[in-house]
Amino acid sequence: MENQPTTLELQEAADPVLLKPTGPELALYILIGFGSFMIFSIGLSLVLPASPLLNIAAQFLLNVFCLGGTAYALGVRRGRISWKSLGLFPPIWNNKWIFLVIGLTLVFLPIRGLLGLLVSLLFEGGFDTIIARSNALTAGQQFTWLNFAVIIIGGGILVPMSEEFYFRGLIHNWFQSRMSYWPRILLSSAIFGMAHFDSPAVVAASFILGIVNAIAYEKSKSLWLSIAIHAFNNTLALSIANLALALPSG
């Protein structure tokens, strides 16, 4: 009769020793993640019909495929991160975090909004890029329940999951393995902010969200908390912007 594996052996097999990412790997993470997203975005823009809903749905799916796919392929598959080390599986979650998620969003969402308006006014002299981004995230300023469902599922749930997996799970962990607390918080958050380079206002607002989520991830040892903060923040902001279109004008 063959020897049965011990509990310790099973635990070690389920939670392998992670390899410290090398210095050049950060450039690889950014090049593959952002590079693939930009290339596919340009390619799709050339072949997709002029449909605001179809275009925004394609952007959401590209975000998941390129960023989430990069985190999985270069992080999990290569032993730099694991589901367990991120607190994803087995899931690390505390029901009391629900109140933390709501509280942080209600405090920082207005702050981020005001900061974005201020940055846009100072650097652009107006709000053109904010308006353009708002139009894109409301499927061309047209409210339908189909538009609303696609935007909330994509931008409110899927994108936060893939971005937290990539920015906190992969990139922040690269900094975490070689820097002290505040430098790694600020630098990884700066990369998260610069990834939203379509608008200076969104860069500034995203930088603040990156700091909040990086701290939440480090304190909780669970990516689920930063995912929840990101998802609730996006869902609330997108719901307000889209449901406002359903209000009768005049």
- For residue 69, pLDDT beyond 90: yes
CA angle 23–27–33, rounded 5-degree value: 135
- Residue 134, pLDDT score: 82
Which has more confidence, 127 or 179? 179
Instruction: Please state, for a pLDDT cut of 90, what percent of the chain lies above it.
Output: 74
- For residue 250, pLDDT beyond 60: no
- Residue 7, pLDDT score: 43
**Cβ neighbours around 90 below 10 Å, total:** 9
Instruction: Look at the alpha carbons of 38, 42, 47, 50 in this order and tell me if their dihedral is positive or negative.
Output: positive
Mean pLDDT of 164-193: 96
- Residue 249, pLDDT score: 66
Which has more confidence, 148 or 10? 148
80 contact partners, CB below 8 Å, separation of at least 6: 18, 19, 20, 21, 25, 74, 170, 173, 174
Mean pLDDT of 55-83: 96
Mean pLDDT of 23-41: 95
Which has more confidence, 85 or 51? 85
- For residue 11, pLDDT beyond 50: no
- Residue 128, pLDDT score: 86
Please give the model's pTM, rounded to 2 decimal places: 0.92
- Residue 1, pLDDT score: 42
Mean pLDDT of 21-48: 93
- For residue 244, the 8-state DSSP code is G
In angstroms, the CA 83 to CA 42 distance is 32
In angstroms, the CA 64 to CA 74 distance is 15
Nearest Cα to Cα of residue 229 among 247, 248, 246, 215? 215
Written as six digits, the tokens of 250 are 């005049």
Q: Could you report the per-residue pLDDT of 108-155, keeping only the tens digit for each?
A: 999 999 999 999 999 888 888 888 888 878 877 788 899 999 999 999
Mean pLDDT of 68-74: 98
pLDDT bucket at 35, cuts 50 / 70 / 90: very high
In angstroms, the CA 139 to CA 137 distance is 6
Nearest Cα to Cα of residue 187 among 202, 200, 172? 172
- Residue 13, pLDDT score: 46
Nearest Cα to Cα of residue 143 among 247, 246, 248, 250? 246
Nearest Cα to Cα of residue 111 among 192, 36, 203, 209? 209
